[in-house]
Structure 1
């Protein structure tokens, strides 16, 4: 399943176009490497998403669901 569709189906991001834009801007990574919206998500992948003021690290399970491993709040104070 494509990354952008996967994120929408699992409710991480409400719209596929937003998921697409996040991936294109490099805010979705696997092994610290940015991945494209067309990336085929595989079971066992560990992905990082930076959303607004938090970073979510999750693992893809056998049934293409997610298991959140860590959620980190990012402090944007200057």
Structure 2
């Protein structure tokens, strides 16, 4: 599954266009390699997403084409969540 679609379906990022933008700016890595929005995501991959003042590290646990809001969190496991100090 494409990275931008995975981020939208799992609801880590609400909109696919925003997910594509963040990925294309080099702010997402898959298994320590910089990822593009078209990069393929597999079960077991570790994603590191750099938001403004937060860095989120998640492990992919499921890939589904569509899901309900309540089940979206089952698609990943949060490994770490760090915040930058001002």
TM-score, normalised by the number of residues in structure 1: 0.89
Q: Which has the higher helix share?
A: 2
In structure 2, do the counterparts of structure 1 residues 41 and 31 end up closer, same or farther at CA, with 3 Å as the change threshold? closer
User: Runs of 5+ in structure 2 lacking a partner?
Assistant: 64-74
Aligned-partner SS, 1:56: strand
Cα distance per residue 1:23-78 (max 9 Å; x no partner): 010100123321010111001000100112100001001x2211000000112x2x
State whether structure 2 residue 2 is matched by structure 1 residue 2: yes
Deviation above 6 Å: which 4+ runs of structure 1?
A: none
Q: Alignment partner for residue 70 of structure 1, among 43, 55, 80?
A: 80
Q: Which has the higher strand share?
A: 1
User: Runs of 5+ in structure 1 lacking a partner?
Assistant: none
Across the aligned residues of Structure 1 and Structure 2, the Cα RMSD in angstroms comes to: 1.0
Instruction: Give aligned pairs, total.
Output: 75
Q: Which has the higher contact order (CA 8 A, sep 6+)?
A: 2
